[in-house]
Structure 1
Amino acid sequence: MARKFFVGGNWKCNGTTEEVKKIVSTLNGGDVPSPDVVEVVVSPPFVFLPLVKTTLRPDFHVAAQNCWVKNGGAYTGEVSAEMLVNLDIPWVILGHSERRSLLKESNDFVGDKVAYALAKGLKVIACVGETLEQREAGSTMEVVAAQTKAIAERVTDWTNVVLAYEPVWAIGTGKVATPAQAQEVHSELRDWLQANTSPEIASTTRIIYGGSVSGGNCKELAAKPDVDGFLVGGASLKPEFIDIIKSAEVKKSS
């Protein structure tokens, strides 16, 4: 069965109430392919989750940008998976490079968070990716495999997991992995899944690309056989996000 194209929009730490309403209005008016062709998930900051959940078109879904590794309790500033489930938020992004680098989240910690979120019924966009130094040292796949291994060791059911390959050197920099570079890593990641999980998991798990995706480069990236969609940062706050969603048509016709 073909993997359904997936487009996620990570709004990061951006927005006011009025700005969020404007973004949602643009998305609600966008002419995009049907949910049979593309799955769309947007991820606003925690404080705007209820607003976006109640005003966003029903064929788009909502994700949190993070959640805690355990149930609630004495964890000031954290949000639990149980709270997200209570708010009927279906998705969460975990292991984003900004949390790995700025907040020192380790591979094992990210793996534990993924396992806990899945156990509570959330669907997970799990992020992996290398720094510029690691790429230049030729250790891209070593780094990405180690990050993926920490997740795979803790996941028994991959049905609700999307892997996001985000080269750190391409996030918010304007630099983009070439379609060939993205395809190479995605293909190697799929080979890793085949060798370390199962052929079925490797063939059905969606591996999406993140890193300065725009309306200008999305179609060429989408045409690659192992690129199953995108996790979009800055461009997800702009009208061009609609064009990125439409790039699913490229995959459908290829």
Structure 2
Amino acid sequence: MRRKLAAGNWKMNGESTALGELEKLATAHSAPGVDILICPPATLLHRAAQTVSDSAIAIGGQDCHPAQSGAHTGDISADMLLDAGATAVIVGHSERRENHDEGDEHVRAKARAAIDAGLLAIICVGESLAEREAANTLDIIAGQLAGSIPDIVTGENLVIAYEPIWAIGTGKVPTLEQIGEVHDFIRARLERRFGTGVGRSVRLLYGGSVKPGNAADIFAVSNVDGALVGGASLKAGDFSPIIQALETIGA
């Protein structure tokens, strides 16, 4: 049975005062029935890990460099994330793919570096609105899966997050049928490439305007094992109902 995962991506938001939201979240979910992961900005990562060190909440990074070290000013390696207290890292988020021209091969190298360092790699895939309207969604997802996932993955070190680009931060959400179609497709692709054992053990998250009001319906969709949540994860009061909805489905 795949354990459900509620992951929060704070993106470029949060300063020292935001650590109070982690404390609230840890208090509200002292014995959660699902895994909870928060990915704060790098400036807060170490302090965030210390803040929740005695709780059930895990801390992750938002990106990593493919190399272990070197002349890469401003970048952070997977080993550095691990040293700071992270247990996971997001790679291939659409904002990285678009704003930093990161292709599948680059994402694959980052995922490999994360896994080699002992981190859980959360690889993001998703189509643009133009690709959705052109009925190319599954072709795009297939290409991203093939190019972004390294060969060394297992259900313990890989999570796939489906985030349709046109639904991130827009308030627009695909229909439940559209979400189910993509998640079922991803599951089938993983099983075909890695076998049923690994293919069925990798958790699949949905991301894109997930809110307390729509979370339960989304979590009831086939092969949705949780969510990668953006804005609604910044406040404990907004993220807690999403976690609770996931716990209800996972019970």
TM bucket (normalised to shorter chain) is: over 0.9
Q: Which residue of 2 aligns with 1:5?
A: 4
- Of 74, 78, 82, the match for 1:77: 74
3-state SS of paired residue (2:213): coil
* TM-score, normalisation: structure 1: 0.94
Structure 1: how far apart are the matches of 2:223 and 2:248?
13
Matches within 5 A, 1:123-202: 123-202=120-199
| C-alpha contact 1:10 1:65 (8 A) present in aligned 2 | yes
Amino acid at match of 1:38: V
| Deviation at residue 78 of structure 1 after TM alignment | 0.1
Could you tell me which runs of 5 or more consecutive residues in structure 1 were left unpaired when the two chains were aligned. Answer: none
Q: How many percent identity over aligned positions?
A: 38
Structure 1: how far apart are the matches of 2:227 and 2:29?
18
Structure 2: how far apart are the matches of 1:252 and 1:81?
30
| Deviation at residue 156 of structure 1 after TM alignment | 4.1
3-state SS of paired residue (2:211): coil
Aligned length: 249
Matched, 1:206 2:203: yes
3-state SS of paired residue (1:159): coil
Q: Which residue of 2 aligns with 1:24?
A: 22
Matched, 1:93 2:97: no
Matched, 1:221 2:223: no
3-state SS of paired residue (2:28): coil
| Deviation at residue 117 of structure 1 after TM alignment | 1.1
Q: Which residue of 2 aligns with 1:53?
A: 49
| C-alpha contact 1:111 1:154 (8 A) present in aligned 2 | no
Structure 1: how far apart are the matches of 2:211 and 2:248?
15
Matched, 1:234 2:223: no
Structure 2: how far apart are the matches of 1:162 and 1:95?
12
* TM-score, normalisation: structure 2: 0.95
| Deviation at residue 27 of structure 1 after TM alignment | 0.9
**CA RMSD, 1 decimal:** 1.4
Structure 2: how far apart are the matches of 1:179 and 1:154?
31
Q: Which runs of 4+ in 1 moved over 6 A?
A: none
Could you tell me which runs of 5 or more consecutive residues in structure 2 were left unpaired when the two chains were aligned. Answer: none
Q: Which residue of 1 aligns with 2:13?
A: 14
Structure 2: how far apart are the matches of 1:102 and 1:49?
22
Q: 1:252 to 1:193 in 2, by over 3 A?
A: same
| Deviation at residue 225 of structure 1 after TM alignment | 2.5
Structure 2: how far apart are the matches of 1:47 and 1:101?
23
Q: Residues 142-176 of structure 1: CA distance to partner in whole angstroms, max 9, x if unpaired?
A: 11111111133433434211100000000000111
| Deviation at residue 179 of structure 1 after TM alignment | 1.9
